Amino acid sequence: MDFFAHETAIIDEGCQIGKGTKIWHFSHIMQNCKIGEGCNIGQNVVVSPDVVLGKNVKIQNNVSVYTGVTCDDDVFLGPSMVFTNVINPRSAINRKSQYAKTHVGKGATIGANATVVCGHDIGAYAFIGAGAVVTKTVPAYALVVGNPSRQIGWMSEYGHRLVFNEDGVATCPESGDKYQLKNGTVTKIS
Protein backbone atom coordinates (compact mmCIF):
# COMPACT_ATOMS: atom_id res chain seq x y z
CA MET A 1 0.00 0.00 0.00
CA ASP A 2 1.57 3.28 -1.16
CA PHE A 3 -0.89 5.51 0.73
CA PHE A 4 -1.89 6.04 4.36
CA ALA A 5 -5.40 5.39 5.66
CA HIS A 6 -6.27 5.88 9.31
CA GLU A 7 -7.71 2.74 10.93
CA THR A 8 -11.15 4.38 11.19
CA ALA A 9 -11.28 5.25 7.46
CA ILE A 10 -13.37 3.07 5.15
CA ILE A 11 -12.24 2.42 1.57
CA ASP A 12 -14.68 0.55 -0.66
CA GLU A 13 -13.86 -1.88 -3.48
CA GLY A 14 -12.57 -0.66 -6.82
CA CYS A 15 -10.88 2.54 -5.65
CA GLN A 16 -7.60 3.75 -7.10
CA ILE A 17 -5.59 5.76 -4.59
CA GLY A 18 -2.32 7.42 -5.54
CA LYS A 19 1.05 7.15 -3.86
CA GLY A 20 1.57 9.37 -0.83
CA THR A 21 -2.12 10.15 -0.32
CA LYS A 22 -3.32 10.40 3.29
CA ILE A 23 -6.89 9.56 4.36
CA TRP A 24 -7.74 10.61 7.91
CA HIS A 25 -10.17 9.70 10.72
CA PHE A 26 -13.73 8.60 9.94
CA SER A 27 -13.52 9.29 6.21
CA HIS A 28 -15.29 7.10 3.65
CA ILE A 29 -13.95 6.60 0.14
CA MET A 30 -16.77 4.96 -1.82
CA GLN A 31 -16.52 2.51 -4.71
CA ASN A 32 -14.67 3.24 -7.93
CA CYS A 33 -13.14 6.56 -6.86
CA LYS A 34 -9.92 7.68 -8.47
CA ILE A 35 -7.70 9.71 -6.14
CA GLY A 36 -4.37 11.05 -7.38
CA GLU A 37 -0.95 11.06 -5.75
CA GLY A 38 -0.15 13.24 -2.77
CA CYS A 39 -3.73 14.06 -1.79
CA ASN A 40 -4.81 14.80 1.78
CA ILE A 41 -8.34 13.73 2.71
CA GLY A 42 -9.23 15.28 6.08
CA GLN A 43 -11.34 13.96 8.93
CA ASN A 44 -14.99 13.02 8.33
CA VAL A 45 -14.81 13.36 4.53
CA VAL A 46 -17.05 11.38 2.16
CA VAL A 47 -15.89 10.82 -1.41
CA SER A 48 -18.90 9.38 -3.26
CA PRO A 49 -18.82 6.69 -5.97
CA ASP A 50 -16.94 7.46 -9.21
CA VAL A 51 -15.50 10.79 -8.04
CA VAL A 52 -12.17 11.70 -9.66
CA LEU A 53 -9.56 13.76 -7.80
CA GLY A 54 -6.27 14.84 -9.39
CA LYS A 55 -2.86 15.01 -7.72
CA ASN A 56 -2.21 17.05 -4.57
CA VAL A 57 -5.90 17.73 -3.85
CA LYS A 58 -6.43 18.93 -0.27
CA ILE A 59 -9.84 18.24 1.26
CA GLN A 60 -10.33 19.71 4.72
CA ASN A 61 -12.57 18.25 7.43
CA ASN A 62 -16.32 17.62 7.02
CA VAL A 63 -16.57 17.78 3.22
CA SER A 64 -18.71 15.54 1.01
CA VAL A 65 -17.55 15.24 -2.58
CA TYR A 66 -20.58 13.86 -4.40
CA THR A 67 -20.85 11.75 -7.54
CA GLY A 68 -20.53 14.01 -10.57
CA VAL A 69 -17.70 16.11 -9.11
CA THR A 70 -14.20 16.05 -10.59
CA CYS A 71 -11.24 18.04 -9.27
CA ASP A 72 -8.06 18.69 -11.23
CA ASP A 73 -4.59 18.79 -9.65
CA ASP A 74 -3.83 21.12 -6.72
CA VAL A 75 -7.45 21.88 -5.78
CA PHE A 76 -8.13 23.04 -2.19
CA LEU A 77 -11.54 22.31 -0.63
CA GLY A 78 -11.95 24.24 2.61
CA PRO A 79 -13.50 22.97 5.85
CA SER A 80 -17.20 22.11 5.64
CA MET A 81 -17.62 23.38 2.07
CA VAL A 82 -20.51 21.76 0.20
CA PHE A 83 -21.07 20.35 -3.27
CA THR A 84 -24.55 19.41 -4.48
CA ASN A 85 -25.40 17.03 -7.31
CA VAL A 86 -29.16 17.37 -7.90
CA ILE A 87 -30.80 20.70 -8.82
CA ASN A 88 -34.21 19.88 -7.34
CA PRO A 89 -33.84 17.20 -4.65
CA ARG A 90 -36.88 15.61 -3.03
CA SER A 91 -36.67 12.85 -0.47
CA ALA A 92 -39.50 10.82 -2.03
CA ILE A 93 -38.19 11.05 -5.61
CA ASN A 94 -35.09 9.17 -6.76
CA ARG A 95 -33.05 11.44 -9.05
CA LYS A 96 -29.75 9.51 -9.12
CA SER A 97 -29.95 9.42 -12.92
CA GLN A 98 -30.11 13.24 -12.96
CA TYR A 99 -26.84 14.05 -11.19
CA ALA A 100 -25.41 17.27 -12.61
CA LYS A 101 -21.65 17.45 -13.07
CA THR A 102 -19.30 19.98 -11.48
CA HIS A 103 -15.68 20.34 -12.58
CA VAL A 104 -13.14 22.17 -10.40
CA GLY A 105 -10.14 23.36 -12.41
CA LYS A 106 -6.45 23.08 -11.56
CA GLY A 107 -5.31 25.06 -8.54
CA ALA A 108 -8.77 26.37 -7.59
CA THR A 109 -9.60 27.13 -3.95
CA ILE A 110 -13.06 26.79 -2.42
CA GLY A 111 -13.22 28.43 1.00
CA ALA A 112 -14.69 27.19 4.27
CA ASN A 113 -18.47 26.73 4.34
CA ALA A 114 -18.88 27.70 0.67
CA THR A 115 -21.59 25.92 -1.36
CA VAL A 116 -21.26 25.02 -5.03
CA VAL A 117 -24.63 24.37 -6.68
CA CYS A 118 -24.21 21.49 -9.12
CA GLY A 119 -23.76 22.01 -12.84
CA HIS A 120 -21.51 25.05 -12.40
CA ASP A 121 -17.82 24.61 -13.12
CA ILE A 122 -15.03 26.38 -11.24
CA GLY A 123 -12.21 27.61 -13.48
CA ALA A 124 -8.51 27.01 -12.94
CA TYR A 125 -7.02 29.03 -10.06
CA ALA A 126 -10.39 30.56 -9.21
CA PHE A 127 -10.85 31.54 -5.57
CA ILE A 128 -14.23 31.05 -3.89
CA GLY A 129 -14.43 33.03 -0.63
CA ALA A 130 -15.56 31.49 2.65
CA GLY A 131 -19.34 31.12 2.86
CA ALA A 132 -19.96 31.96 -0.80
CA VAL A 133 -22.87 30.29 -2.61
CA VAL A 134 -21.86 29.57 -6.21
CA THR A 135 -24.89 29.59 -8.52
CA LYS A 136 -23.14 30.06 -11.87
CA THR A 137 -19.93 29.03 -13.61
CA VAL A 138 -16.80 30.76 -12.27
CA PRO A 139 -14.08 31.76 -14.78
CA ALA A 140 -10.40 30.94 -14.37
CA TYR A 141 -8.57 33.23 -11.88
CA ALA A 142 -11.85 34.80 -10.69
CA LEU A 143 -12.38 35.86 -7.07
CA VAL A 144 -16.01 35.38 -6.01
CA VAL A 145 -17.69 36.03 -2.66
CA GLY A 146 -21.17 36.33 -1.15
CA ASN A 147 -24.61 34.77 -1.44
CA PRO A 148 -25.31 34.46 -4.28
CA SER A 149 -21.65 34.73 -5.20
CA ARG A 150 -20.48 37.60 -7.33
CA GLN A 151 -17.11 38.25 -8.84
CA ILE A 152 -15.17 41.04 -7.12
CA GLY A 153 -11.76 40.60 -8.73
CA TRP A 154 -9.05 38.27 -9.95
CA MET A 155 -6.45 36.09 -8.20
CA SER A 156 -2.97 34.94 -9.12
CA GLU A 157 -1.90 31.30 -9.09
CA TYR A 158 -0.26 32.04 -5.72
CA GLY A 159 -3.56 33.30 -4.28
CA HIS A 160 -2.95 37.06 -4.35
CA ARG A 161 -5.44 39.65 -5.54
CA LEU A 162 -4.43 41.02 -8.93
CA VAL A 163 -4.47 44.76 -9.62
CA PHE A 164 -4.40 45.53 -13.34
CA ASN A 165 -2.78 48.65 -14.81
CA GLU A 166 -4.15 50.72 -17.70
CA ASP A 167 -2.69 48.17 -20.14
CA GLY A 168 -4.58 45.33 -18.43
CA VAL A 169 -1.43 43.81 -16.92
CA ALA A 170 -0.99 42.74 -13.27
CA THR A 171 1.95 41.25 -11.41
CA CYS A 172 1.67 38.72 -8.58
CA PRO A 173 3.51 40.20 -5.58
CA GLU A 174 4.83 36.79 -4.48
CA SER A 175 5.82 35.02 -7.70
CA GLY A 176 6.43 37.98 -9.99
CA ASP A 177 4.28 36.28 -12.65
CA LYS A 178 2.42 38.62 -14.98
CA TYR A 179 -1.23 38.31 -16.02
CA GLN A 180 -3.24 39.90 -18.81
CA LEU A 181 -6.90 40.93 -18.49
CA LYS A 182 -8.49 41.12 -21.91
CA ASN A 183 -12.19 40.94 -22.86
CA GLY A 184 -13.13 39.74 -19.39
CA THR A 185 -10.61 36.88 -19.39
CA VAL A 186 -7.37 36.58 -17.43
CA THR A 187 -4.38 34.68 -18.81
CA LYS A 188 -0.90 34.22 -17.37
CA ILE A 189 1.67 35.81 -19.68
CA SER A 190 4.92 34.97 -17.85
Pairing of strands 109-110, 127-128: parallel
pLDDT in tens, 103-127: 999 999 999 999 999 999 999 999 9
pLDDT in tens, 131-148: 999 999 999 999 999 999
Interval 174-183 mean pLDDT? 98
pLDDT in tens, 35-53: 999 999 999 999 999 999 9
Give the amino acid at 118: C
Give the domain ranges of the chain.
1-87+98-155, 164-190
| C-alpha to C-alpha distance for 156 and 172, rounded to whole angstroms | 6
* pLDDT for res 190: 81
pTM of this prediction? 0.97
pLDDT in tens, 60-75: 999 999 999 999 999 9
CATH of domain 1-87+98-155: 2.160.10.10
